[in-house]
Amino acid sequence: MDKLLISGGACLEGELRASGAKNSAVTILAASLLANEPVTISNVPHLRDITTMIELLVSMGVEVVVDEKMNIEIHANTIKSFVAPYDLVRTMRASFLVLGPLLAHYGEAEVSLPGGCAIGPRPVDLHLRGLEALGAIIEMKEGYVKARVNGRLKGARFIFDVSTVGGTEHIMMAAALAEGTTVLENCAREPEIIDLADFLNAMGAKVSGQGTDTITIEGVESLGGCDHHVIADRVEAATYLIAAAATGGHVKMRDVIPEHLDVVTSKLRESGADVTIGEDWIDLDMRGRRPKAVSLVTAPYPGFPTDLQAQFLAMNTIAEGTATVKETIFENRFMHVHEMNRMGAQIRLEGNNTTAIVEGVDVLQAAPVMANDLRASVSLVIAALIADGDTVVNRIYHIDRGYEQVEEKLQNLGAKIKRIQSR
């Protein structure tokens, strides 16, 4: 397994372009199964999760053409099998999202249950209840969800018990081809949901209300081809801005959608950074200063994203003062804490491991570290950038799932980082 070797101490400086959003792209690839004609998707990041989703589509007989710029053309109507096997769903939970589109378009699907993962149990009960509300007949057998429908799915009203990004996306996709109107309430409002709705509407769907907590979908009989440009990855962009703040640096992120990062830029200002915002860029200048501690509570959008909690925690380890960081979305998303403490951080977990109290120290010390989740892993890269000495971050295949060319991008900003490839 590859590792990253990072020599701490560099102050990050320079400009970067944000990649396309992983969490939008994986869902849009699943949604392409709804189309009767070829669709083309651009601004897709070159990442392991994207390759997994393409592999899944290809395993079902779907023709997928990828060019050198990662423009992806998908011919869903070449499909031959409606099965998403355990081996692929296990490696990426988002592949479960093919269930709804397969069912809505072809009337049947057999998709492995994703199971838990490092950050918590992550159930899919609301996905299944939403599909059942639309008339799906669902059976669990040997770890698989076997779903079918007599005729077409039928529009219905469905209220989500909790705000779920994947659940909202899943039922939106299925409802696009249902007979009649679906009204979804207590929906998640993340920008990736708006991107998916834009993709569905470009194919001829009738989705409205995306970005609010009530989404209405007037089902149509069929969906056609379209070209779609995926939105910028707000989590990737913010990760580099936080890394810049933590190292006292100055970084400008280009090709971003600044309004998607309002809560994050306000937290970065709280850390003492000068943040300037343009139409499609964000410039952060820490002017060599030590960041101030920033407390936060994760929440569904537009609240503070759980996907940036670990990165802020890394910055807080060397900040001036004490920060309280509360995780409310996932049960087990503090695995980076123990690794950071091994580097000399002063973090204690309270409240049944839902809250981290971080007392800023002057400096972290290098140590071999690893994590079992994407954002925890990248937070250790930030910790390594501010540590004294050479840190080896192990198991970086997690980072490769969500950060395109991470070492090249960080090298461009002046970081001393290199990949150690294992055979």
Binding site for ligand EPZ (CB under 6 A): 23, 26, 94, 120, 122-127, 162, 164-167, 188, 192, 306-307, 329-330, 374-375, 402
> What's the rounded Cα separation, in Å, for the pair 130 and 102?
15
Instruction: List, in order, residues 6 or more apart from 177 with CB less than 8 Å away.
Output: 34, 104, 105, 152, 153, 219, 220, 221, 222, 223
> Two tokens at 48?
């392991």
Catalytic residue numbers read 117
> What's the rounded Cα separation, in Å, for the pair 123 and 42?
31
Our CB check for ligand EPZ shows the closer of 352 and 422 to be: 352
Q: What number of helices (H) and strands (E) belong to the chain?
A: 14, 26
- Minimum distance from residue 264 beta carbon to ligand EPZ (Å): 13
Our CB check for ligand EPZ shows the closer of 122 and 419 to be: 122
- Minimum distance from residue 252 beta carbon to ligand EPZ (Å): 24
> What's the rounded Cα separation, in Å, for the pair 8 and 159?
48
- Minimum distance from residue 158 beta carbon to ligand EPZ (Å): 12
- Minimum distance from residue 166 beta carbon to ligand EPZ (Å): 3
* Number of residues written out for the chain: 423
Our CB check for ligand EPZ shows the closer of 167 and 204 to be: 167
Our CB check for ligand EPZ shows the closer of 31 and 366 to be: 31
Q: What is the DSSP letter of 45?
A: -
Our CB check for ligand EPZ shows the closer of 48 and 289 to be: 48
> What's the rounded Cα separation, in Å, for the pair 166 and 190?
10
Our CB check for ligand EPZ shows the closer of 307 and 404 to be: 307
Ranked by CB distance to ligand EPZ, the top (closest) residue is: 166
Our CB check for ligand EPZ shows the closer of 78 and 214 to be: 214
CA within 13 Å, CB half, 158:
31
> What's the rounded Cα separation, in Å, for the pair 151 and 107?
7
Q: What angle do CA 382, 337, 374 make, to 5 degrees?
A: 55
> What's the rounded Cα separation, in Å, for the pair 240 and 317?
17
Q: What's the Cα-to-Cα distance from 227 to each of 39, 42, 78, 230, 395, rounded to whole Å?
A: 6, 8, 19, 10, 36
Q: Is 276 exposed, middle or buried (0-12, 13-18, 19+ CB in 10 A)?
A: exposed
- Minimum distance from residue 250 beta carbon to ligand EPZ (Å): 27
- Minimum distance from residue 174 beta carbon to ligand EPZ (Å): 14
Candidates 319, 318, 299, 301; CA nearest to 309 is 299
- Minimum distance from residue 118 beta carbon to ligand EPZ (Å): 10
